[in-house]
Structure 1
Amino acid sequence: MQSFLTTLLLLFSCFDILGGALGDVGTARYYGPPYLPTKCYGDDQYQFPSDGHFAAVSNGIWDNGAACGRRYRM
C-alpha cells in the first residue's frame, strides 16, 4: 500500500512539473524611457512601483482606464 501511495505522489508531482502554465497567449512589447506622461496618471513620476516593474496592457484589459492601479500576476 505504501509503494502505491509513493507512486501516486510521484505521478502527481510529475503532472505538476510538466503541466505547463495556464494563461492566455499575448504579445510582449518593450518601451524605453521616458515613460511619462502616462494615460493613467499623467506626469506623476511616483505612479511607478518602487521595484520598477510595470507593464502596458492591451485594449481588452485597459477597459477605458479601469486597469489603472490594478495588479496582475505574470
Structure 2
Amino acid sequence: MTRPDRKPERVDPEERLQDVAGWEILFALCKCEHFAEVDIRRLKRKFGADTVLRTLEPKLKCAKCGGSGARHFSL
C-alpha cells in the first residue's frame, strides 16, 4: 500500500479498538517505514472491541519485511 496523501495522525496507544470510528482508516507503521491499512473489524472479532491498541502492536507482522511488531498506529 502506498503512503496516505496526508501525514497520518498518530493514535494514542491507550485507545481501544472501539474508540476508532467506523469511517476511520487505521494504519500500522512498521520499523521498516512500511505503512499498511489494518482491518479494524477483523481485529475486533479476533481480540474484542475493548482491546487496547498498544497490546496489538507486537502481534502484527509486516507484509513487506516480515518483521513483527508495529512502531505505532495512525489514522
Structure having the higher helix fraction is 1
Q: TM-score, normalised by structure 1?
A: 0.27
Larger Rg: 1
Instruction: Identify which of structures 1 and 2 has the higher relative contact order when contacts are C-alpha pairs closer than 8 Å and 6+ apart.
Output: 2
Report which of the two has the higher share of strand. 2
